[in-house]
C-alpha cells in the first residue's frame, strides 16, 4: 500500500479531528500506519455524519451514505469516488465491510435526543462504535481474537465517552443511564474490568495486529480517574498529564504491550 494523495488527506483529517488516534497511528510501523489512517478517517467521517445538520433527515442521509459505501465494499462493488471510501475499499475485506452497516445504525442514536433504553442498549452502542473501529483496525493488520479486541475497544470508547459527557449534555443528549456519582463510578469499573480481562488474553492478538490497540493507550488512566473522582466527569476535567500521555504511548509502541 502506497502513501498516496488519498491517504495523505486521510492522515490530515485524522490529525485535525482525532489527534489522539493520529498520535497512536504515528507510533505504528509504516505499513500499519497507512491502513490505520484510512480506517480512522472513515470512523471520523461516520462519527460526525449525525451532527452534520440540525435537520434529522439530512443527518440520516449522511449516515445512510456510509451504509451504502459499506454495502458496496461488502458486495465487491467499487464505491463512489471519495478520499476515504476509495482507499477503504482496498483495505477492508467483504466480511469486515459488512460491519459498517451496524456501525452506521448505532450512530443514528447521535441524531436524536432519546436516552438509551437500558444497559444493553448502551453497551451495544459502545461495541458497534468504538469496539467495531478497533476490530476493523486490528483485523485489517493481522490475526486477532474478536472478543478480546472489542473489549479493549469498549474500554477505549467508554473513556472517550466520559470526556465527551459535558458536550453531549450541552447538545441536549442523555449520555448516561445513571448519572449519579455512584452510577458513573460503576460504569468506569465495568470498563476497567473489560480491559483487565482482555489483557489476560494477550496471546490471542498477533504481533501484526497489536498496533491497532495503541489507540486505547489512555483508556486505563482516564477510567481510573473517573473511578477515583467521578465528579470530574461533569466538571469536564478528565485529563492525563503530558508526561503520562507521552510515556504511555512510547512504552506501548516500544514494548508492543497494551
pLDDT tens digits, 140-166: 999 999 999 999 999 999 999 999 999
pLDDT digits (tens, 9 = 90+) for 32-79: 999 999 999 999 999 999 998 999 999 999 999 999 999 999 999 999
pLDDT per residue rounded down to tens, the chain (258 residues): 778 999 999 999 999 999 999 999 999 999 999 999 999 999 999 999 999 899 999 999 999 999 999 999 999 999 999 999 999 999 999 999 999 999 999 999 999 999 999 999 999 999 999 999 999 999 999 999 999 999 999 999 999 999 999 999 999 999 999 999 999 999 999 999 999 999 999 999 999 999 999 999 999 999 999 999 999 999 999 988 776 777 677 767 777 766
Reading the block at residue 220, the C-alpha cell is 486505563
Q: What radius of gyration, in Å, describes the C-alpha atoms of the chain?
A: 18
- Alpha-carbon distance 102 to 22, whole Å? 24
DSSP conformation letters of the chain = ----HHHHHHHHHHHHH-HHHHHHHHTS-HHHHHHHHHHHHHHHHHHHGGGS-SSHHHHHHHHHHHHHHHHHHHTTPPPPP-TTHHHHHHH--HHHHTHHHHHHHHHGGGGS-PPPSSHHHHHHHHIIIIIHHHHHHHHHHS-B-HHHHHHHHHHHHHHHHHHHHHHHHHTT----S--SHHHHHHHHHHHHHHHHHHHTTGGGB-TTTGGGGGGGTTHHHHHHHHHH-THHHHHT-----HHHHHHHHHHHHHH---
Q: What domains are there in the chain, each with its CATH number? A: 1-112 (no CATH), 113-257 (1.10.600.10)
Cα angle at 17 between 202 and 239, to 5 degrees?
Answer: 65
Quick check: 60 and 111 in contact, CB under 8 A? yes
Confidence (pTM)? 0.94
Residue with cell 505499513: 31
Amino acid at each position: 500500500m502506497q502513501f498516496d494523495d488519498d491517504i495523505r488527506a486521510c492522515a490530515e483529517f485524522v490529525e485535525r479531528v482525532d489527534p489522539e488516534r493520529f498520535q497512536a497511528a504515528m507510533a505504528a510501523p509504516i505499513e500499519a500506519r497507512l491502513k490505520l489512517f484510512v480506517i480512522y478517517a472513515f470512523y471520523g467521517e461516520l462519527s460526525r455524519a449525525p451532527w452534520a445538520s440540525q435537520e434529522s433527515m439530512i443527518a440520516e442521509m449522511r449516515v445512510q451514505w456510509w451504509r451504502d459505501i459499506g454495502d458496496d465494499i461488502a458486495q465487491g462493488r467499487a464505491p463512489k469516488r471519495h478520499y476515504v471510501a476509495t482507499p477503504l475499499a482496498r483495505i477492508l475485506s467483504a466480511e469486515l465491510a459488512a460491519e459498517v452497516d451496524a456501525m452506521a445504525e448505532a450512530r443514528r442514536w447521535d441524531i436524536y435526543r432519546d436516552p438509551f433504553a437500558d444497559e444493553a442498549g448502551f453497551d451495544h452502542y459502545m461495541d458497534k462504535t468504538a469496539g467495531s473501529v478497533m476490530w476493523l483496525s486490528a483485523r485489517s493488520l493481522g490475526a486477532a481474537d474478536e472478543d478480546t479486541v472489542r473489549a479493549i475497544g469498549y474500554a477505549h470508547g467508554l473513556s472517550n465517552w466520559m470526556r465527551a459527557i459535558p458536550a453531549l449534555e450541552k447538545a441536549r443528549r442523555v449520555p448516561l443511564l445513571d448519572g449519579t456519582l455512584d452510577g458513573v463510578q460503576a460504569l468506569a469499573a465495568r470498563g476497567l474490568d473489560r480491559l483487565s480481562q482482555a489483557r489476560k488474553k494477550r496471546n490471542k492478538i498477533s504481533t501484526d495486529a497489536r498496533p491497532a490497540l495503541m489507540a486505547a493507550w489512555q483508556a486505563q488512566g482516564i477510567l481510573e480517574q473517573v473511578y477515583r473522582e467521578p465528579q470530574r466527569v461533569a466538571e469536564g476535567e478528565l485529563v492525563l498529564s503530558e508526561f503520562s500521555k507521552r510515556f504511555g504511548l512510547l512504552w506501548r509502541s516500544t514494548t508492543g504491550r497494551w
